[in-house]
Amino acid sequence: MKRISTLIVLLFSIPSALAQQDNFSIQSEILQETREIVVHLPENYDPESKDGYPVIYMLDADHEDDEIVARKAHAYFTAKIMPEVIVMAIKNIRRGYDFAPPSITFKQDGEQVSGNSDKFLAFIKNELIPFSSKKFRTNGRRVFTGHSSAGQFLAYTLSQSPELFDAYFITSPAMTSPDIGGYGDQTYSDLKLVFKQDLDFPEFIYVSVGGSELPDLKTDYDRLTTVLKQHLPAQVKLHHEINDGATHENNGAISLPIALKMYFSTAF
């Protein structure tokens, strides 16, 4: 296990982001609602940039990990470890419903419903990414990050549209639920099938769990990483780790700077 107890202070001592925000709303025809997007632009963002900017797409804007990523990305750019990036995070409306696969049914507002992740993924793929590409100077390089249930949604996305992102940062994936049952059973099967196809796959996948998380989350991590190790195409670089001492509440904030450095230092 990776020892992080002596490093937590360093990882959280991130310099203030010298970035500008350009938040926007997007009216989704797929979801039939307005979604709020939080955007952190580089300090020296140039709408006419020749090279354009990679975009880090994040879920759970309400949890503020996007601020940590924006600050750390700025620090890494200053240290010449990675390029300047745009950080873009989606605010939640119905978190559990949007992240749950359609194979799962559960009660919401007194009604039996199926998970909405197929429509939520379609929103990201067919509305948010194209809209963002028109609004900002992007270069087509995309990273996707998610924690807990959002990490489960990343695994679902990988099983349905592996080509959509160049890198996936999955932290503390919650693939099961005591109230709903197995989120991940169908996703595991779909991952095994999609990896056999002749498709474009991401360059890099990072998966982590905290050493002090609940046993069910460690089991989810073990099962997902086993599937990835056994079935991922050889060209995809996989890194997985257990962060000793990390909890469910802080494993994402600890892991994301690590994943950023690992991916961009080799791909920059």
Which ranges of 3-52 does DSSP label H, i.e. alpha helix?
8-12
Residue with tokens 């959280």, as numbered in its chain: 12
DSSP-assigned beta bridge partners for residue 112: 107
**DSSP character string of 53-86:** EEEEEES-GGGTHHHHHHHHHHHHHHTTSS---E
Tokens representing 247 are 């909890």
| 84 within 8 A of 91, measured Cβ to Cβ | no
CA 57 to each of CA 9, 21, 125, 142, 160: distance values in angstroms, whole numbers, following the listed order:
26, 15, 11, 7, 17
Question: Which residue type sits at 10?
Answer: L
Residues in Cβ contact with 21 at an 8 Å cutoff, skipping those fewer than 6 apart? 38, 39, 40, 41
pLDDT in tens, the chain (268 residues): 444 433 333 344 444 444 578 999 999 999 999 999 999 999 999 999 999 999 999 999 988 899 999 999 999 999 999 999 999 999 999 998 999 999 888 887 888 889 999 999 999 999 999 999 999 999 999 999 999 999 999 999 999 999 999 999 999 999 986 444 566 789 999 999 999 999 999 999 999 999 999 999 999 999 999 999 999 999 999 999 999 999 999 999 999 999 999 999 876 5
Give the C-alpha separation, 168 to 144, whole Å: 5
User: Which residue matches tokens 């989606």?
Assistant: 90
The domains found in the chain, sorted by start residue, are 2-267 (3.40.50.1820)
For residue 119, the SS3 value is helix
- 62 in the Ramachandran plot: left (φ > 0), alpha (ψ -120 to 50) or beta? alpha
Tell whether pTM > 0.85.
Answer: yes
Tracing tokens 């924006």 back to the chain, one arrives at: 70
